[in-house]
Amino acid sequence: MPRPALRLQELHGENAPVAEPTRGSRRFWLKAFAAVRAETERRAAPLSTEDQVVQSMPEASPAKWHRAHVTWFFEQFLLRPFTPSYRTFDERFAFLFNSYYVAAGPRQARPQRGLITRPGVAETASYRAHVDAAVAALIETTANGEAVFPIVEIGVHHEQQHQELMLTDILHAFAQNATHPVYDANWQWPESVSGASTEAGDTLVAGIHMIGHDGQSFSFDNERPAHQVLLQPVRLSRALVTNGEWLEFMADGGYTTSGLWLSDGWATVEAQGWEAPGYWRHVDGAWFTMTLGGLRAVDPALPVCHVSYYEADAFARWAGKHLPSEAEWEVAAKAEALDDAFGTVWQWMRSAYSPYPGYVAEEGALGEYNGKFMINQMVLRGSSLATPAGHSRHTYRNFFYPSARWQFSGLRLAEFER
């Protein structure tokens, strides 16, 4: 697979001793940009041309589309405004690869991204290389770093979000295939990581705390402003809910007892015929699940994954507990009181995805990034096994519709003090 022009690797080689560039310098941004572009290609590398075109449901996008869309993002929001001499690779790509930016013009309907057979994979790689070169030249020569580098930064974080989606979306596609395709034969579930808190057992949080991002480093606008919250005394489980616990829920009629479910959740159970988490298959009396390593036996000791908010909420009710709020989670995570807060499964919160007090969306077209989605979705906290390194924060707010379960999503429980 063709790789983008990675200027720093060409200059220095993989193993040459290079001092870490100063944060905010041209070299810092060149390196950050090259690294994230390379990671996207690394994730796409195991995929065939056919793999990269398929769209298995409206919410999932083809890998080729992800690779092109993140490239269009740099072209639209960085090169067009800041490189007057920039030669657009193909004017028609703006229609194909704009996602939801109304201010940036008309676009291909989301459910029809899988119909984009042209440009092909090779031309998409050329598009990426063209934009890579132009962005690198801009970083090297701009006299307006104050305006340019923040857009490079949001473009890098945006591409990292799509890196995760590339994996969740291809897993959904592979899960529709009865031959159980394998993305990575060596894939393994992440090792469990203990929180560093010395407090034994589940941690009690209570009182007035600050949550949200202080703006001293990168954050998305939806994490701001930092603000005070008042927490009622509540204990957050150190551990994620496991497959073994989920099997108990199933055996106890979890999926057949309407009283455990929100009305919308129960309607979804009935409409979708849910009887187990997403990708679970019952084969010869045993449960298996589709993973990036193909079909694997469900391990009772591992965290449950690919459950929706509706399922997480029903499980918590069955257990006589609750899901944490995002404020409770953030306070406990900052105290390092949660095992596997990051890097395993996103954790559903009982918090609706809504603006923080005083929230103001970014100015301009990038104001469409987060704010307009603050309705009818629920928050997930932490990060997952598919989240790229360096993309997680205590204040990070992910969000999905309550029926979504193709993300690497699980849960932990909370119990209020009586």
Where do contacts with Fe ion occur on this chain (CB under 5 A)?
99
Q: Between residues 204 and 361, which has the closer beta carbon with respect to Fe ion?
A: 361
CA 51, CA 113: separation in Å to the nearest integer? 13
Cβ neighbors of 217 (< 8 A, separation 6 or more) are none
Between the alpha carbon of residue 1 and those of residues 11, 111, 159, 199, 282, the distances in Å are 21, 27, 19, 49, 37
User: Count of alpha carbons within 13 Å of 405, Cβ hemisphere only?
Assistant: 24
Q: Between residues 104 and 175, which has the closer beta carbon with respect to Fe ion?
A: 104
- Taking the complex as a whole, how short is the minimal distance between the CB of residue 246 and Fe ion, in angstroms? 32
CA 376, CA 408: separation in Å to the nearest integer? 20
Q: What is the DSSP string of 22-70?
A: PTTSHHHHHHHHHHHHHHHHHHHTT--HHHHH---STTS--HHHHHHHH
Q: Between residues 99 and 370, which has the closer beta carbon with respect to Fe ion?
A: 99
DSSP tag of 136: H
Of all residues in the chain, what percent are helix, strand and coil, respectively (each to 5)?
Answer: 40, 15, 45
- Taking the complex as a whole, how short is the minimal distance between the CB of residue 69 and Fe ion, in angstroms? 6
Q: Between residues 99 and 398, which has the closer beta carbon with respect to Fe ion?
A: 99
- Taking the complex as a whole, how short is the minimal distance between the CB of residue 379 and Fe ion, in angstroms? 19
Between the alpha carbon of residue 254 and those of residues 260, 289, 319, 410, the distances in Å are 7, 19, 10, 16
Tokens describing residue 360: 């103001």
CA 121, CA 128: separation in Å to the nearest integer? 11
Q: Between residues 68 and 234, which has the closer beta carbon with respect to Fe ion?
A: 68
Cα angle 376, 381, 385 (rounded to 5 degrees) comes to 120
Q: Between residues 99 and 268, which has the closer beta carbon with respect to Fe ion?
A: 99
Contact between 305 and 271 (Cβ < 8 Å): no
- Taking the complex as a whole, how short is the minimal distance between the CB of residue 165 and Fe ion, in angstroms? 8
- Taking the complex as a whole, how short is the minimal distance between the CB of residue 384 and Fe ion, in angstroms? 18
Q: Between residues 40 and 99, which has the closer beta carbon with respect to Fe ion?
A: 99
- Taking the complex as a whole, how short is the minimal distance between the CB of residue 169 and Fe ion, in angstroms? 12
Q: Between residues 99 and 124, which has the closer beta carbon with respect to Fe ion?
A: 99
Torsion, Cα of 112, 117, 119, 124 (10° steps): 90
Q: Between residues 164 and 202, which has the closer beta carbon with respect to Fe ion?
A: 164
Q: Between residues 99 and 168, which has the closer beta carbon with respect to Fe ion?
A: 99
- Taking the complex as a whole, how short is the minimal distance between the CB of residue 187 and Fe ion, in angstroms? 25
Contact between 382 and 346 (Cβ < 8 Å): yes
- Taking the complex as a whole, how short is the minimal distance between the CB of residue 366 and Fe ion, in angstroms? 11
> What does the longest C-alpha to C-alpha distance in the chain come to?
66
Q: Between residues 100 and 187, which has the closer beta carbon with respect to Fe ion?
A: 100
- Taking the complex as a whole, how short is the minimal distance between the CB of residue 162 and Fe ion, in angstroms? 6
Judged on CB neighbours under 10 Å (0-12, 13-18, 19+), 211 is buried
- The neighbouring-strand residues paired with 136 are none
CA 411, CA 18: separation in Å to the nearest integer? 41
DSSP tag of 403: T
Closest residue to Fe ion: CB criterion? 99
Backbone angles phi, psi at 377, to 5 degrees: -125, 160
